[in-house]
Amino acid sequence: MGRYIIRRLLQFIPTALGTMLLLHYITSLAIQFSGNPVRALFGDRQPDPAMVAAITERLGYDDPCLSQKGNPCFGLFWDRLQNVFLHFDFGINLRQQDVTDLVANALPFTLKIVVVAVIFEAIVGITAGVIAGLRGGSFADYLVKISTVFLISVPIFVLGIVVREYVGVKFGNTLRGVDWIPDVISSGVFASGYKLEYPFASLIIPGLVLGATSLATTARLTRTSIMENIRADYVRTAKAKGLANKRVVGVHTLRNSLIPVITYLGVDLGGLMGGAVVTETIFNVPGIGRLVTQAARSGEAPVVIGVVTMLALVFLVTNLIVDLLYAVLDPRIRYE
């Protein structure tokens, strides 16, 4: 087990380096073709050339390679690697704020949304999948299949806007007109966007929207896995031994059926953090997604590289934890 973990941790190095190199090259090309992003700070005003030069040097955009179109800027990339891995310095944005501070301020909002989404898709998705898998061909099975197809087919930005307008605005306004309903529900949970007065309650609806598509996939994956394992020899043997149906389903069938589901949930965790870009923009949540969107629009390369690199590391760690959980779900799995 220990050697397996060490090998997986060593595999993080080329993945992180490859991610950073790709992002570095893309952002370098953007600066080379669109020009110095520092000039965007002044808008329509004509800035003092000395001031522009000073800010450009302070932000690290004065490297000669950034004026040569197509140059990969390996020297600048090496400097960034040293700053990141030796000093944990991801650079600063155009307003000279540390990227680590920006991420630290935005990360809690994204984590709250992701936690709500994961809990929602895990509990509701697995429950719906188990019910549909055990009752194949029934009304419940068809209801799960139809509803999950509907959720998967609706784009997340469409679902988010519809939920915001009809649940957050119209239904929320109706609740806010009722005196006996607490403000934390009417103005917090059913708010049309993020509210500073209700830092967690106002993130519940965005979290549910973020996890809706993943919930549908989780339900269908659980249903398929349950229907495959319910006919397996070990399940028939457990029934022949006279075990209670709850134990047959809850211990023998469900435990093995959850292996592909856990795999999907682990991979989806990183996807949810990246997919929060659309949800956070719709509901005006000051999280990682909105931070990256604003940084990409303004050409702040250090912010984009820093945030995406951190998300890549989170994705890798999550996949390692999921692989280790296999041995818990199936004792036959061992890592040498």
CB 98 within 8 A of CB 92: yes
pLDDT band at 329 (very low <50, low <70, confident <90, very high): low
124 band by pLDDT with thresholds 50, 70 and 90: very high
134 & 272 share domain: yes
Mean pLDDT on 270-297: 81
pLDDT band at 205 (very low <50, low <70, confident <90, very high): very high
Which of these three, 53, 87, 121, is where a domain ends?
A: 87
Residue 92 lies in a domain: no
Asked if residue 166 and residue 69 are part of one domain, the reply reads no
Is 154 in the same domain as 295? yes
Radius of gyration (C-alpha) of the chain in whole angstroms: 25
Q: Which of 66, 87, 108 is the last residue of a domain?
A: 87
Q: Is residue 334 part of a domain?
A: no
Cα–Cα distance list, 75 to 86, 136, 144, 241, 309 (Å): 16, 60, 54, 69, 19
- Structural domain of 35: 2-87
Residue with tokens 């991979």: 267
Model confidence over 309-323: pLDDT tens digits? 777 777 777 777 777
Query: Are 80 and 141 in the same domain?
Result: no
Please compute the mean of the pLDDT values over residues 70-80 and round it to a whole number.
Answer: 84
